[in-house]
C-alpha cells in the first residue's frame, strides 16, 4: 500500500476534526492559550515518527470504516459507525505512545508549517520503505 503524504496529512486533520467535535460541552470553555497556539512548531524526530505511525494506522482505520459508514441506513447507524471508528482511531494514537492532544497539535501545525510538513513527508517515505 502506497500512502501519499498529502493524503496522510489530510487524514490526520480529519481525525483531529472528528475527535475535537465529538463532544461539545453545554458551555464551551475557553482553552488555555497554549492549547490554541502550539508554543513551538518544532518536534523531535521521535515525535514526528510516532505521529506518522499513528496517522498511518488512523488512515487504515478510516479506510476500513468508510464503506461501513456508506452502508449505514439510519443516522443512528451512521453515528454508531463513526463512534466505533473514532474509538479505534483514538486507541491507535494512544497505543503508539502519543496523546490525542499532541497528535491534534501536530496535525494542525502540519497544515500551516512547511518545515514540519516536510519532516512528516520524510518520515512517511521512511515508513513506506520499511
Look at residue 23 and tell me if it is in a domain.
no
DSSP code per residue over 25-67: -SSPPPPPHHHHS-S-----HHHHHHHHHHHHHHHHHHHHHHH
**Residue 55 lies in domain:** 5-17+43-129
Grid cell for residue 51: 505521529
| Res 20: pLDDT | 41
Look at residue 27 and tell me if it is in a domain.
no
Look at residue 85 and tell me if it is in a domain.
yes
Report CA torsion sign: 45, 48, 52, 53. Answer: positive
Look at residue 118 and tell me if it is in a domain.
yes
pTM summary value: 0.71
Report the phi/psi class of residue 121: left, alpha or beta, with left for phi > 0 and alpha for psi in -120 to 50. alpha
Look at residue 91 and tell me if it is in a domain.
yes
Give which of 23, 21, 107, 97 is closest to 59, Cα–Cα: 107
Question: Dihedral angle at the C-alpha atoms of 90, 91, 96, 99, nearest 10 degrees?
Answer: 40
Could you give the CA distance from residue 12 to residue 54 in angstroms, rounded to a whole number? 9
Q: Number of folded domains in the chain?
A: 1
With a cut of 50, say whether residue 100 has pLDDT above it: yes
Q: Over the stretch 48-81, which tens digit does the pLDDT of each residue have? A: 999 999 999 999 999 999 999 999 999 999 999 9
Amino acid at each position: 500500500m502506497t500512502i501519499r503524504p498529502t493524503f496522510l496529512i489530510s487524514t490526520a486533520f480529519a481525525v483531529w476534526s472528528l475527535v475535537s467535535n465529538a463532544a461539545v460541552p453545554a458551555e464551551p470553555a475557553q482553552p488555555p492559550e497554549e492549547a490554541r497556539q502550539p508554543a513551538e512548531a518544532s518536534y523531535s524526530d521521535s515525535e514526528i515518527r510516532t505521529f506518522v505511525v499513528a496517522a498511518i494506522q488512523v488512515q487504515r482505520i478510516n479506510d476500513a470504516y468508510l464503506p461501513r459508514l456508506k452502508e449505514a441506513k439510519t443516522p443512528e447507524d451512521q453515528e454508531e459507525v463513526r463512534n466505533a471508528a473514532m474509538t479505534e482511531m483514538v486507541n491507535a494514537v494512544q497505543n503508539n505512545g502519543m496523546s490525542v492532544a499532541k497528535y491534534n497539535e501536530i496535525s494542525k501545525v502540519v497544515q500551516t508549517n512547511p518545515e514540519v510538513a516536510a519532516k512528516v513527508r520524510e518520515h512517511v517515505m521512511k515508513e513506506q520503505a520499511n
